[in-house]
Chains A and B, each alone.
Chain A
Amino acid sequence: SQQGEEDPQALSIQEGENATMNCSYKTSINNLQWYRQNSGRGLVHLILIRSNEREKHSGRLRVTLDTSKKSSSLLITASRAADTASYFCATGQGGSEKLVFGKGTKLTVNP
Chain B
Amino acid sequence: KAGVTQTPRYLIKTRGQQVTLSCSPISGHRSVSWYQQTPGQGLQFLFEYFSETQRNKGNFPGRFSGRQFSNSRSEMNVSTLELGDSALYLCASSLGGQGGTYGYTFGSGTRLTVV
Contact = CB atoms under 8 A, between A and B. Distances in A.
Contacts of B99: 97, 99
7 contacts: A41-B109, A45-B103, A48-B103, A94-B100, A97-B94, A98-B56, A101-B42
B103 A98 contact: no
Interface residues of B, number: 33
B48 A98 contact: yes
Contacts of B81: none
B43 A42 contact: no
Contact of B42 (A40, A42, A102): A102
Interface residues of A, number: 27
A25 interface: no
B31 interface: yes
A78 interface: no
Nearest to A102: B42
A1 B43 CA distance: 9
B90 interface: yes
B66 interface: no
B107 interface: yes
Contact of A40 (B48, B98, B111): B111
Contact of A88 (B4, B43, B97): B43
Interface in A71-111: 88, 90, 92-94, 96-104
Residue among A41, A98, A100 facing the most chain B CB atoms (10 A cut-off):
A98
Contacts of B58: 98
B33 A97 contact: yes
Contacts of A88: 43
